[in-house]
Amino acid sequence: MPDAVDDSTDARDTAGEGSIGELVQMVKDYARQETLGPLKGAGRWIGVGIAGSVIMAFGLAFLVLAVLRMFQYEFDSFDTRGWSLAPYGFALLVCVIAGGLAAWRINKTTLQKGDKH
């Protein structure tokens, strides 16, 4: 009779190992689902954000350069009256206005997943 008890214990141990294996696999699958899925979406979101910021930086640089050159070449009176730094001031003003507009448009609530803005 002791052999029969040992056989039933072995059967329960193998069933327990199968349950533990399934549990471990289920935890792995859940971890992949909850971490890799959102990270892939965040990676795309960050990539688009970086690309957009680089493009906007180039655009702003060209805009500021255009404003600077416009004031240097179109308004010669700045050179004759001792206001040679005024075009640079106007270019700096364009930078400050563009930075202020960008900061004003940042809305942290739209960065959250559940918002519908």
Local confidence pLDDT in tens for the 117 residues of the chain: 455 444 444 544 554 556 888 888 998 888 888 887 777 777 888 888 899 999 999 999 999 999 999 888 888 777 777 788 888 999 999 999 998 998 888 776 655 555 554
Contacts of 84 (CB under 8 A, 6+ apart): 78
Q: Cα dihedral angle (5, 6, 10, 11), rounded to 10 degrees?
A: -30
Whether the Cβ atoms of residue 80 and residue 42 lie closer than 8 Å to each other: no
- State the number of CA atoms in the 13 A half-sphere of 35 facing the CB: 6
Rounded Cα–Cα distance for residues 42 and 7 (Å):
52
Q: What is the pTM of this model?
A: 0.55
